[in-house]
Structure formats: C-alpha cells, structure tokens
Structure 1
C-alpha cells in the first residue's frame, strides 16, 4: 500500500516538515511519484523499529479482514519463548535460532539461515538496547495457519553490529501466513518495544507468564490510543 505524506504525519504524530527533514537527514524511506513523495508501510516500520522512532497506534492496519488480524500475545504463544540460546557470534546464534523455530517440517532451514545472513550482510537487524529482529529482505511468509512470534534470550550477549554498538541479548523472529499479517504484527512489536517496563523485563529475562501478561497489558491499551 502506498502512503501519502498526510498518512505518514498521522502515523508518526509529527509535523509535515519533520517528515521532509527525516528524508533529508535520517534516511527516511521515500520515493517520488510524479513529483509527490510516496511511502511503503513495511519500509517505514523497519525504519521506525531500527531507529527507535515512536509510532502511533494509527500505524496498525485498520482494514484487515478479521482472519488477518493478529496480536503479539497469541503469536508469541504459538512461536514460543526460548532461554539460553547458544552462540559465540552472530552466525552461530542465527543457526541455533533457525533450529529452534517451530517451522513446517518441509521448510529448508539452511536456505532460511542463508537468507537471514544475507540480510545481515546488508545491514544489521540489531535495533539497539540489546535487541535484534532478524528477518529476510522480504517478509517470511509461509504456509502456516497463524502467525508465529518467537522470543529468544541468548546465553550471553553477542556482537551484532547494532545501531547503538551494544551487544545483543534478545531476539524476536516473525513468521506470517500473509504480508498483511506480517505488517500488523511488526507494527505491534515496534510499539511494544517502546514500553520501558517491557524492555526491563527483556533485560532481566523475565518468566514466560510475566512477559505474556505485560504484552497483553500493552496491547489492551491500544484500544484507548488516539
């Protein structure tokens, strides 16, 4: 879906001039069509997540069919939370992560690993504050019944080339049945990661139940956001 400047202003809750400034100085993803800027929602989500820029609740697709609506809590229950994931470096960590994911049996995990590594070679998916969201160049869309978010705590922090230079201790992965669901979940992850209490829980490697409850609390608050 192509977005116009007025849409992006609403999504980020900033003046229009700020959008133009971001395009000039912060690598804000945009293209010109007949002299007018147009924006891709997925690219904006990745930019916002990577740069730590806050988005509003309006960023969440509001025209999804009911079967394409998703929440992190349910997706995380499907994908699982894993502790003490081993790895001495980024490649070893990603190999172990791919091995843990609850993927369809026939999926070529080695191919997926190489896709993730190729994406990391372009630019790190470490978004700062010890967190990374490994993903391929395009959304991981597979023949699954429902989206899966996996949360993985590393045995020890690993250098990831993150934007703030800090080693990564926590990873999120996302597998979706459609691109629309992918965008919905990714936008929610970006939103949840702005919650200071939730980030502290990640640093402390909180228990599964506590993490799930905090995510539910944050997502429940979305209904009250302007």
Structure 2
C-alpha cells in the first residue's frame, strides 16, 4: 500500500517516490519531474531515484500553486476531493464548497488598515467572529510563522493567508474568511505589487487545506480578484464567490 502523501502521520524523514507523489496528486511523472527542474519542487536523489518529503512538498505547493496552470490545479483538487469523499470528510460532491464555508460575518470590506501585522490581526478577529475559532493567539502565531517563511501574497493584489501546518486543536471546522482593505498595502508579493484582497483559509488537516487552496486558486485564475474588488457589500461578495465557484464545473 502506498503511503498517504498528505497524511499528518508521515514524519518529515519519510521519503516518497515520484510515482507515489504522482498518484496522490493526479499528475504525470513527467510533469512532476518538470517541476523539479524548472520550478524547484524540493526533491533529493537517492540511489538514482527522486524522493520527496511530505512537509517540503506541502510548503512548496502553498507557495507556488498560483504558478501552475488551471488544468493541473483542477487535477490536484479532484484527486484530493476523491480522498476526502472516501474517508468521509466530505459527504457529497458540492459546487459551493468554498461559499458554504464563508459566512457573511466572515467578510469585512474596506477596512482602514496600513500594515501586514494589522491585516493578520484583523483576519484573526474576523475568524473568531465566525464562532469556529477557539484560540486567537495560536492562529495569529501560526499566520506570522507562515508569513516569515514566505509571503502568501500572489500577483494581482490578492493574498491567501493560512497557517503553515493544520491547527486542528484551534478549530471545530474548516474556516474561510475574507478581508478587503480600503487601499492596497505592501504585503511582500514577489513582484513588489501591493495587496488589497486577503483570504484566510484554515483547515484541520493538510488534505482539506490543499483542497481549499487549489479551489480558491482556480477561482482567482478565472478572474475572481477583480470581481471581489468590485463587490459592494458582504452579500455581493459571497454571491460573487458562489457564482465563480459554480463556474468551475461548467
């Protein structure tokens, strides 16, 4: 039986093969080898064969999912969704997985915020307001730790903020929140662009986290950023997400 690549029981020292990684993500071996060569997907060579480590793969995906074409992101999402259906985390297929996890009280628009630290603190307070977060300090520390690794800001003025590791002890379910600042601020995007739209995505396990990350990346690939920036109020913002998410299956 192949190891579950996104199983939290895998230790950092556990190495998986390129074939196991391909099977877990729904990608071809050739595509993964190309990522190793061109996009620096972390790998090591052992006895002439590529080997990967779970934590390094998850970290790389969190940082680089926006550079992947939509088809490969869709393959990743579909493969993980199948696993989540198989293990009972998801009960049915849904076209509104993100929208169903974004309550209106989890959306804050046009806040006067001037710094990265203020954004992270505001996101934590928004998450706490949903009633699903039990430890504000732990989440804030986790977000800061993730940003110190590498900014979650993406091209186009959007950031998908998230902890580096699952924080199941602090959540009673997956959380999605959204924050739009009144003006773009510096958030560390690689291209130097300022950021105005911020999502917070927290999940109790790596599979659920990467599934949500892949799905949100696809929404943003389909012109979502501009639509979210144009939303008039939280109701309009959530309706926009519902519409864009439904379009992923058309």
TM-score bucket (shorter structure): 0.7 to 0.9
1:38-86: CA deviation from partner (whole Å, max 9, x where unpaired)? 4756345314435364334221211213752271010113762111233
Tell me if the contact between 2:155 and 2:193 (Cα under 8 Å) persists in the aligned partners: yes
Which SS does the other structure have where 1:63 is aligned? helix
Pick closer, same or farther for the CA change 1:107–1:146 going to 2, 3 Å.
Answer: closer
Pick closer, same or farther for the CA change 1:88–1:221 going to 2, 3 Å.
Answer: closer
Cross-structure match for 2:201: 174
Cross-structure match for 1:100: 126
The answer to whether structure 1 residue 139 and structure 2 residue 166 are counterparts is yes
- Indicate which of 77, 89, 100 corresponds to 2:115: 89
Q: CA RMSD in A?
A: 3.2
Find the aligned partners of 1:148 and 1:106 in 2 and give their Cα distance: 8
Tell me if the contact between 1:133 and 1:172 (Cα under 8 Å) persists in the aligned partners: yes
Tell me the CA shift for residue 29 of structure 1: 3.5
Find the aligned partners of 2:133 and 2:243 in 1 and give their Cα distance: 36
Cross-structure match for 1:63: 83
Pick closer, same or farther for the CA change 1:203–1:30 going to 2, 3 Å.
Answer: farther
Q: Which moved more, 1:72-81 or 1:123-132?
A: 72-81
The count of corresponding residues between Structure 1 and Structure 2 is: 220
Cross-structure match for 1:28: 41
Q: Which moved more, 1:37-46 or 1:122-131?
A: 37-46
Which SS does the other structure have where 2:120 is aligned? helix
Find the aligned partners of 1:135 and 1:92 in 2 and give their Cα distance: 15
Pick closer, same or farther for the CA change 1:195–1:79 going to 2, 3 Å.
Answer: farther
Which SS does the other structure have where 2:196 is aligned? strand
Q: How does 1:33-44 map to 2 (within 5 A)?
A: 35-38=49-52, 40=54, 42-43=58-59
Ranges in structure 1 where 5+ consecutive residues have no aligned partner: none
Pick closer, same or farther for the CA change 1:64–1:112 going to 2, 3 Å.
Answer: closer
Q: TM-score, normalised by structure 2?
A: 0.72
Cross-structure match for 1:200: 226
